[in-house]
Amino acid sequence: MIYEEPKYLPGGDRYMLIEFGDEMNLELNFMGQSLAQAVEENGVEGVIETAPCFASTLIHYEPEEIKFSDLKSEMRSLIETLGPSEDIELDSRLFYFPAVYLDPWTKEAIEDYCAKITEKEWDPEFIARLNGLDGVEQFVRVHSGTEYWVASLGFWPGLPFMMALDPRCMLTAPKYNPPRTWTPEGTVGMGGASTCIYPVATPGGYQIFGRTPVPIWDTQKRFPQFESSICLFKPGDRVKFVPCAIEEYEQVAAQVAEGSYQYNLVEYQRFSVKNYKTWVESLDTGARF
């Protein structure tokens, strides 16, 4: 649900987590993003940085400059000025990402986890079973059957937290217990109802089942998409995974290595929350592909 009154939760001596609700939807994500934007535009004294995510905004502040209680009232008045998300329309880039589903690389990482940390079911089978799907083939169809909304960046530089825009493709899964100590670069994974791409080899807690050769961050700025930022994505982008074979993966990886890869994206679309909601209401959300 979306809370009547957001929760203002302390994080040590210099953080405040503002939680707007306890579910995942576009409206909550817009509340988080809009507050972060309002903080930036208004230049609230004592605020160092913010980190909005699916249903919350983390505020990093300097208590020598603003007290927790004063920050709370400042944030409360900013939240009151935020308009309804219904009216939001924004430019939204759509990226097509080739991805090998059920790939050998993530399988190897899972086998290594099973050998060194604890036994677990192969992640795609596990997700398929938990979500009542026929098997891993249907899982691939469902997971790749929707556009994903980039709700925020975090965890690791450039990593996108994404949600399925088509409710018929929404899947859920628990996170690893305990987390993996390594994940291959470019891995596609999911935890809760969130899907991500791991920018580099890092530890991780999501279930993993695919790999893309397309870089999502680039400190060398070798591709024009990284001119203004070393992170490819920004909130409000969309991603569509295009299942591909290992041969195609390797072909793209070679193009990336030599710098000739061209990002496959469209930049002419505007995303309207109102139109999106109307579309969602017209669907039989119990259906699966």
Partner 1 sequence: MLEVIEPGLETSVQDWPGRLGYWNQGFPPSGPMDSWSFRLANVLVGNEPGAAGLEAQYIGPSLKFRRDGLIAVTGADMQAKLDGTAIPMWESVAVKADQTLQMAFAKTGARGYIAIAGGIATEPWLGSRSTFHKAGVGGMEGHALKKGQIVPVGEGHGQAGHKVAETARPTFPTDKRWEIEVVAGPNDDWIDEAGHKRFLGSDWKLSSKSDRTGFRLDGPDWTFTAKATDKAPEHGSEPSNIIDQGYPCGAINLAGQTPIILVNDGPSMGGFVNPYTVPRAAFWKLGQSKPGEIYRFKAVSVEQAQAMAHELRQVCSEASIAK
Contact residues: partner 1, CB under 8 A: 9-15, 17, 19, 22-24, 36, 48-58, 60, 63-64, 68, 130, 152-159, 161, 170, 172-179, 181, 191-194, 200, 202-203, 205-206, 219, 229, 231
Output 229 or 251, the one with its CB closest to partner 1: 229
Output 60 or 141, the one with its CB closest to partner 1: 60
Output 231 or 256, the one with its CB closest to partner 1: 231
Q: Answer left, alpha or beta for residue 12, where phi above 0 means left and psi between -120 and 50 means alpha.
A: left
CB of 78 to partner 1, least distance (A): 16
Q: Is 150 helix (H, G, I), strand (E, B) or coil?
A: strand
Q: Answer left, alpha or beta for residue 89, where phi above 0 means left and psi between -120 and 50 means alpha.
A: beta
- Please count the other Cβ atoms lying within 10 Å of the Cβ belonging to residue 272: 16
CB of 213 to partner 1, least distance (A): 19
CB of 264 to partner 1, least distance (A): 23
User: What H or E segment, with its residue span, contains residue 130?
Assistant: helix 123-130
Q: What is the secondary structure of 2-50 as a DSSP string? A: EEEEEEEEEETTTEEEEEEESS--HHHHHHHHHHHHHHHHHT-TTEEEE
Output 39 or 100, the one with its CB closest to partner 1: 39
CB of 110 to partner 1, least distance (A): 16
